[in-house]
Chains A and B, each alone.
Chain A
């Protein structure tokens, strides 16, 4: 019994993509509502008054904010199918740790690649590669971070894959050259319908960033 599920989102957001993937994995029907972040809807401001940010998941009228909290909520409510977090507490802690690492590192470092230039950009590139290598190390020889099955950390990280093209263009480097196993993992994930339908097109993301830089007055 699903009830009413609404997702307030913005198409290029990697955070929104996580929630889209989790809902798709669990085959939940929901209403997707695109937000204009320059003109936030009354519903968004009502449902997330603290941060006023997307994504917001609204289940039977009650809001859940923050993407990783949403993914855990989805996993707990629809616990009869496609489990995302493993049952073992230590493995759960490990998955949460690396998802938190993605949140702390990848978004900001990736952002620096298109927002900055020169030494600052180079330093961000170097650190981003180190972080991606650490994540690649966690994969080991498994097909997914969740082991045999797609799981919580896969959901947390794979949305960044559609942003890699943008990072590579601005940073003038190849993530595949540095982290071949990670790219192989991402391509494997893209074979899943839940992922392919939830991620944005990488060229559209690049165009979006070009327009955003102009709008923000960043050379």
Chain B
């Protein structure tokens, strides 16, 4: 479609924005990325997402779409022909949406707690985090991707969180690969795709970012 204007209000470390970047790259959609200041939120962000004042916000021909799962489904519906994210079968769609919701709630919350907590609380969080990752690994099974032969909705939803694995392992003093080797193999496989590696931040950079956050929040062992 000619004269399509696609803008993404984003933040480099944000997992939710990462999902949208991967999806747009998979579909070959050209867009303008506008990095946002998460401390002093800009006028455009406040205008485009007055309810939550959060990123990501996708602005398509001047109209805002907020919330990463809603943005992914919108992108999939507007540009359905290349790299479809959701399958056609309604039950498989429901299953994909279920796991995306699980990732957004469990993986996100537990992942954050690993670097925010200490001592016994941290140990309990690590245990629950690994159990959640194992559940996802079970869902992957023997498929190359959650979407089957190609990247799908759940792959795109989980990949940005995998950029934080290295930081979580260092801070939490554990190895995700030991308990979830198939999941780590999956991340390696996905990162071989340009659409993924060019859209997501480097794990070392995230680790340095987490160290900075821990200092800011006063979290020390």
Residues in chain A within 8 A of chain B (CB atoms): 50, 59, 62, 64-66, 69-70, 72-73, 76-77, 89-90, 92-93, 96-97, 100-101, 134
Given A69-B97, A69-B101, A97-B67, is A62 in contact with B91 using a C-beta cutoff of 8 Å?
A: yes
Query: In whole angstroms, how far apart are the Cα atoms of A178 and B95 in the complex?
Result: 39
B101 engages A66 (CB within 8 Å):
yes
A96 engages B93 (CB within 8 Å):
no
Would you give 21 A-B contacts (Cβ < 8 Å), ordered by A? Answer: A62-B91, A64-B94, A64-B98, A66-B98, A66-B101, A70-B94, A72-B97, A73-B90, A73-B91, A76-B90, A89-B74, A90-B60, A90-B65, A92-B74, A92-B77, A93-B73, A96-B73, A97-B67, A100-B70, A101-B51, A134-B51
Q: Which residues of the partner chain B approach A77 to less than 8 Å between Cβ atoms?
A: 90
Q: Which residues of the partner chain A approach B93 to less than 8 Å between Cβ atoms?
A: 72-73, 76
Residues in chain B within 8 A of chain A (CB atoms): 51, 60, 63, 65-67, 69-71, 73-74, 77-78, 90-91, 93-94, 97-98, 101-102, 135
A13 to chain B, nearest CB (A): 17
B146 to chain A, nearest CB (A): 15
B66 engages A97 (CB within 8 Å):
yes
B80 to chain A, nearest CB (A): 10
Given contacts A50-B102, A93-B70, 17 further A-B contacts (CB under 8 A): A59-B91, A64-B94, A69-B101, A70-B94, A72-B94, A72-B97, A73-B90, A73-B91, A73-B93, A73-B94, A77-B90, A90-B63, A90-B65, A90-B74, A93-B73, A100-B70, A134-B51
A69 engages B70 (CB within 8 Å):
no
